[in-house]
Amino acid sequence: MKKGFESSELSCFPISSDDVSAGFPSPAENHSGGSLDLTAYLIKHPEATFFLRVRGDSMTGAGIFDGDILIVDRSLSPVSGDIVISVLDGEFTVKRLIMRNNGTVELRPENPRFKPLRIYEESQLDIWGVVTGAVKSFR
């Protein structure tokens, strides 16, 4: 896997200065708002960022679906509530990290068909990075 990348590896694309309504339609003129540098927008720490493709449907409630590509930042310290990439007892997984005041930790799926993964003293948990975004394709 390639470590980091240069901003010039992704192109800048034109972006409209208007927002699009997700509720009721509003009249909008076609305005150019300049350009969007996808690297600068999506990646805050290029040297510590990598991408992973999702397989499975345990995180659909968080808007993460099979085939999505996750943007993962290894430089961030995970906090409770973050979606993380972790290795639990040798298995990679993406889940929401829950750390309680009593010291217990769990990796929680965002799909009611799956059970939370409780972390026990004998468990081997390594948090690889914090998910900061996702890339989706609708077509």
Active site residues: 58, 95
**CA-wise closest residue to 106 among 130, 86, 136:** 86
Q: Which amino acid is at 54?
A: V
Query: If you compute the radius of gyration of the chain from its CA atoms, what whole number of angstroms results?
Result: 18
**CA-wise closest residue to 37 among 11, 55, 75:** 11
Residue 116: count of CB within 10 angstroms of its CB = 12
- The answer to whether 130 touches 78, Cβ cutoff 8 Å, is yes
The torsion region of residue 121 among left (phi > 0), alpha (psi -120 to 50) and beta comes to alpha
Residue 58: count of CB within 10 angstroms of its CB = 22
